[in-house]
Structure 1
């Protein structure tokens, strides 16, 4: 009986270790580098900097900047019943749009990003 309970305890401990190791341990932190909000989609970090006159989207893969020179992105801002769609264009190391944007706290943002051979959808909620 003692052998069964010891085996069971070891199994529980091992499953806890596997679970803890799987909890987002990929060698880099998902922290903002430009003062924006960060979300991760398939090991790629998307950082959105949203201001009333500019939207910027930075893309990093395992902590390293991704070449966005041929990328395209479309941002959808959802605030209450208001919906605003904006195309972002490459601008140096980021995708960017300038204009007038409704970026109040609570605004939901959906970014559809097309990189060379990958497409991804990143979601944010503005604070």
Structure 2
């Protein structure tokens, strides 16, 4: 009986720690949030444009000098769009991004310090 109680306590502790240790934040702009390289990225689709917000533990990260592309897989259709800095902590696509429900998107980014980051999103 002691082993069962100990096991149950361990399972509960592990389950509870997942929420405490999770790096991902809740969407602030109505998009999809993913974490990569200790940063949070939120992909937002609005008016056919895709925007990515970059934060480090809730604080905006400058996107000055960031280059990259957004690859969108929408069923059998694949499109690649360049990403450019569009504000303090935002990157935006040039051209229309078709981010339909169920689409997968991969942002391949290179920061000004030459650090490369790949972020994978699943559109809900």
Report if TM-score (shorter chain) is over 0.5.
yes
| Residue 30 of structure 1: aligned partner | 25
Structure ID, larger Rg: 1
The answer as to 2:92 corresponding to 1:107 is no
Q: Which runs of 5+ in 2 are unaligned?
A: none
**Cα offsets for 1:83-119 (capped at 9, x unmatched):** 1001111111201124222222111111112223432
Taking the aligned partners of 1:37 and 1:67, their CA distance within structure 2 comes to 20
Instruction: Output aligned runs, 1:1-127, within 5 Å.
Output: 6=2, 8=3, 12=7, 15-16=10-11, 19-20=14-15, 22-26=17-21, 30-93=25-88, 94-115=90-111, 116-127=113-124
Give 5+ residue unaligned stretches, structure 1.
none
Cα drift, residue 16 of structure 1: 3.8
Structure 2 vs 1, CA of residues 112 and 23 (structure 1 numbering), >3 Å: closer, same or farther?
A: same
CA distance in structure 1 between the aligned counterparts of 2:19 and 2:109, rounded to whole angstroms: 22
Considering only aligned residues, what root-mean-square deviation do their CA atoms show, in Å? 2.4
Structure 1 distance, partners of 2:103, 2:22, is 31
- Cα deviation, 1:41-98, whole Å, max 9, x if unaligned, reads 2431110012353111111111111111111221001112111001111111201124
Q: TM-score, normalised by structure 1?
A: 0.78
Please identify, of 40-49 and 21-30, the stretch whose mean Cα deviation from structure 2 is larger. 21-30
Q: CA deviation at 1:31?
A: 0.7
